[in-house]
């Protein structure tokens, strides 16, 4: 694998991020690889679009990967996620493992895995008012606490029904371990091609999570006469207040996020560790 330029994205809210970013840049520069550092703290802004890169290295946690993937998936830039805290569901490479993982990627002994990315569009009347992407999920919910919203859901042109619930989550397989799991949704392998439609605390037992194919179009309409403000949140990092009649369409984006796999720990090992699964009383 040929890599001539690397974008280093570091969340400086993680204390060692700046230092490690500088170390990575120095070591790659010594090998003749051009680098650019993008440092941010808290809410990230858009990445620079005036350069192309062969690889991105993220320093932080899963949130840093979510931010990077929303931008870099469309540019077809693979991401090597380095975790600076506890191992995340996405970022499985430790801070002291990045160099070895980078060399393995160059040698072709580890590869990238494709992760489905959501493309989310909001129309208000005849006007599209927002277009965004998400690696984890799109959530339509009440702005307040414990408030019910009324949403009408369609799969393609087929009406699925009207939901009275705390909200609805449309999740990717990557996001199946996040909010969707907390709302009782199924856990999917992150490289599967599927989406999860998951109501949050629905006010009828007949409404259950549904797994749909990746070529499905999910449409959600905000019904009139809401008792509370309704918001759309994508990946927990961007928010838009919705009005009655707004239509939200969610589908799989044309290009997936390309995440460099780890050969040290599998998704199932991380799942077992994070969720404290055991095989018996002595484990």
Catalytic residue (one of 46, 49, 62, 263):
62
Backbone angle region of 108, left / alpha / beta, with phi > 0 → left and psi within -120 to 50 → alpha: left
The 3-state DSSP class for residue 252 equals strand
Closest Cα partner for 259 from 99, 125, 70, 127?
70
Q: At what angle do helices 98-107 and 17-30 cross, to 10 degrees?
A: 40
Query: Does residue 281 fall inside a structural domain?
Result: no
Residue-wise pLDDT for 163-203, tens only, equals 999 999 999 999 999 999 999 999 999 999 999 999 999 88
How far, in Å, CA of 88 to CA of 135, rounded? 14
Q: Is residue 77 part of a domain?
A: yes
Over residues 251-266, the pLDDT tens digits come to 999 999 999 988 777 7
At residue 48, the pLDDT reads 66
Residues 263, 211, single domain; the answer is no
In this prediction the pTM is: 0.91
148 lies in the same domain as 180: yes
| pLDDT confidence bin for 33, thresholds 50/70/90 | very high
Residue 201 sits in a domain whose CATH number is 2.60.200.30
Q: Are residues 103 and 158 in the same domain?
A: no
Please indicate, yes or no, whether residues 155 and 245 belong to a single structural domain of this protein: yes
Residue 89 has pLDDT above 90, yes or no: no
279 or 259, higher pLDDT = 259
44 and 68 housed in the same domain: yes
Q: 9 and 59 in contact (C-beta within 8 Å)?
A: yes
Least confident interval from 87-91, 111-115, 210-214, 224-228: 87-91
Q: Report DSSP state, residue 164.
A: E
Q: Report the pLDDT value the prediction gives residue 50, as an integer from 0 to 100.
A: 66
Distance separating alpha carbons of residues 21 and 259, to the nearest angstrom: 19
Give me the CATH number covering residue 21: 3.40.50.10330
Collapsing DSSP states into helix, strand and coil, what is residue 273?
helix
d(Cα 6, Cα 69) in Å, to the nearest integer? Answer: 15
Residue 268 has what pLDDT? 83
Would you say residue 280 lies in a domain?
no
Q: Say yes or no: 108 and 136 in one domain.
A: no
Domains of the chain: total: 2
Q: For residue 168, what is the enclosing H or E element?
A: strand 167-171
- For residue 269, is it within any domain? yes
List the domain range (segments joined by +) for residue 161: 118-252
Question: Between these two residues, 83 and 212, which has the higher pLDDT value?
Answer: 212
pLDDT of residue 95: 87
Residues 101, 212, single domain; the answer is no
Contacts of 28 (CB under 8 A, 6+ apart): 6, 35
The verdict on residue 228 lying in a domain is yes
pLDDT reading at 283 higher than 60: no
Is 62 catalytic? The answer is yes
Phi-psi region of 76 (alpha: psi -120 to 50; beta: other; left: phi over 0): left
Q: What is the mean pLDDT of residues 99-119?
A: 95
pLDDT at 239 over 80: yes
126 and 49 in a common domain: no
Whether residue 134 is found in the same domain as residue 149:
yes
User: Quick one: pLDDT at residue 76?
Assistant: 93
Residues 167, 92 share a domain: no
Please name every residue paired with 37 in a beta bridge, in sequence order, or none if there are none: 8
């Amino acid at each position: 694998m040929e890599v001539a330029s690397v974008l280093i994205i570091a969340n400086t809210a993680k204390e060692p991020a700046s230092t490690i970013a500088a170390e990575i840049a120095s070591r790659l520069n010594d090998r003749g690889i051009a680098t650019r550092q993008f440092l941010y703290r808290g809410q990230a802004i858009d990445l620079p679009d005036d350069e192309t890169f062969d690889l991105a290295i993220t320093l932080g946690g899963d949130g840093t990967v979510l931010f990077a993937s929303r931008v870099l998936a469309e540019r077809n830039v693979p991401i090597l996620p380095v975790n600076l805290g506890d191992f995340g569901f996405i970022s499985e490479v430790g801070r002291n493992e990045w160099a070895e993982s980078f060399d393995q990627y160059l040698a072709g002994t580890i590869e990238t895995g494709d992760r489905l990315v959501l493309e989310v569009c909001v129309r208000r009347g005849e006007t599209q008012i927002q277009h965004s992407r998400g690696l984890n999920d799109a959530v339509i919910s009440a702005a307040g606490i414990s408030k019910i919203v009324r949403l009408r859901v369609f799969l393609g042109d087929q009406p699925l029904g009207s939901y009275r619930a705390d909200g609805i989550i449309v999740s990717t397989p990557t996001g199946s371990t996040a909010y969707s799991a907390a709302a009782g949704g199924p856990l999917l392998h992150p490289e599967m091609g599927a989406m999860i439609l998951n109501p949050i605390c629905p006010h009828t037992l007949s409404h259950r999570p549904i797994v749909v194919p990746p070529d499905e179009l999910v449409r959600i309409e905000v019904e009139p006469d809401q008792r509370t403000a309704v918001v759309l949140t994508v990946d927990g990092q961007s928010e838009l207040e919705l009005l009655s009649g707004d239509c939200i369409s969610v589908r799989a984006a044309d290009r997936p996020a390309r995440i460099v796999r780890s050969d040290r720990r599998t998704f199932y090992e991380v799942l077992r560790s994070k969720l404290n699964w055991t095989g018996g009383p002595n484990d």
